[in-house]
Structure 1
Amino acid sequence: MSNLEKKKIAVLAADGYEQSELDKPVEALKSAGADVKIISLKPGSIKAMKDHEWSTSVEVDHIVKEVKADDFDALLLPGGVINPDTLRADEVAVKFVKDFFTQNKPVAAICHGPQTIIDAEEIKGRKMTSFNAISKDLINAGANWVDEEVVTDGNLTTSRKPDDIPAFNERILQEFGK
């Protein structure tokens, strides 16, 4: 039995998520036996971006106002430029993210995904990475930003970009499986 079997993983995303940053980690988590649920702000489906163009969609399992961190073992925050900006403007989504930190559950964010964590006020003093374009945002929020493929600091794992997904997936499988 995989150490991810029986684990429930929340993936919080909105329209404009980066397709590879949701699809590839979800595929890796499901292959390892995790029960992965897509959480969003609205029911139905959410649309991905790929190469700066609208792309495929994914079905939403639950809207964020109907779930809580208690229902899950870990949280994944994919990037994309539009997605985290939409999520961070929603108080319920920000509280959902913050609750994972309050409960010291594993959280993983890639590319622009950490922007939502800024609004959850869980950045200060953490060693993190991200897409270079938001490094100043993280530094201004108190992070010790580094340009590395994947970084884990306590319960938080961060990664820079789609090219880093293989290393990111390997790390989240370890961290979410603990």
Structure 2
Amino acid sequence: MESRVLVLTSDGGVERVELTEPWRELEGRGATLTHVATGRDVGLVDADLDASGTRTADVLLGDADVPDLVAEHELLLVPGGTVNADRLRTEDGAVALVRAFAEAGRPVAAICHGPWLLVEANLVRGKDLTSFPSLRTDVVNAGGTWHDRAPVICTRRGWTLVTARSPEDLEEFSDAVCDILGL
């Protein structure tokens, strides 16, 4: 069975390696990935500050049918990047999409600043997770239990959440996502 992964980003400030490394690993193990974003040309960065090219999204979030995206994909992947995550959490469509994945019992994987979207969507209450350390207070205030390790996998509340802290955790994060998909 083919695994289909939906990758969600804003139109800019996406941490390049947090998008490209899990993508490469998942694709290398046989998954098909679709990139949905708030804009067609997505600006990538290195270390949050240095421009690092662009990537063209497959689907515009504003044109997407959320129930169809959930039905067609087994897992939602949310890369980090401070600007990316901050933009996503202010996008009603992004909040609705991550909620729909959780409500459908589909796994969600988020790295670095990506869990900010989960905080905004009120999905971290009762969950164990990690993130970039500066999000710890946000996670705790939203009812989550923050851990300084990666990956953190939590299956409580009827859906699986996989999180990691930073690009340094990419290998373990990608392996955990692949394991959940049976790849």
Normalising by the residue count of structure 1, what TM-score does the alignment of the two structures yield?
Answer: 0.94
Match in the other structure for 1:117: 118
Amino acid at match of 1:30: E
Q: Which runs of 5+ in 1 are unaligned?
A: none
List 4+ stretches of structure 1 deviating above 3 A. none
Match in the other structure for 1:22: 19
Is 1:50 the counterpart of 2:55 in the alignment? no
Match in the other structure for 1:35: 32
Amino acid at match of 1:8: R
Measure the CA separation in 2 of the matches of 1:90 and 1:100.
16
CA contact (8 A) 1:41 1:63 kept: yes
How far is 1:120 from its partner? 1.2
Amino acid at match of 2:7: V
Superposition map of 1:29-108 within 5 A:
29-43=26-40, 45-51=41-47, 52-65=49-62, 66-68=64-66, 69-108=70-109
Amino acid at match of 1:146: H
How far is 1:134 from its partner? 0.6
**Secondary structure at 1:149 match in 2:** coil
Amino acid at match of 2:131: S
**Secondary structure at 1:166 match in 2:** helix
Q: Identity of aligned pairs, percent?
A: 31
Q: Deviations over 1:27-67 (max 9, x none)?
A: 00110111101110122x20111032111211100012313
Match in the other structure for 2:162: 157
Superposed CA RMSD in Å reads 1.2
The partner residue of 1:8 within 1, 4, 16 is: 4
**Secondary structure at 2:98 match in 1:** helix
Amino acid at match of 1:118: V
CA contact (8 A) 1:106 1:176 kept: no
CA contact (8 A) 1:152 1:158 kept: yes
Q: State the number of aligned residues.
A: 173
The partner residue of 1:168 within 145, 170, 173 is: 173
How far is 1:176 from its partner? 2.5
Q: Deviations over 1:45-90 (max 9, x none)?
A: 2011103211121110001231322221110000010001101101
Normalising by the residue count of structure 2, what TM-score does the alignment of the two structures yield?
Answer: 0.91
How far is 1:177 from its partner? 2.7
Measure the CA separation in 1 of the matches of 2:42 and 2:147.
31
**Secondary structure at 1:130 match in 2:** coil
How far is 1:175 from its partner? 1.1
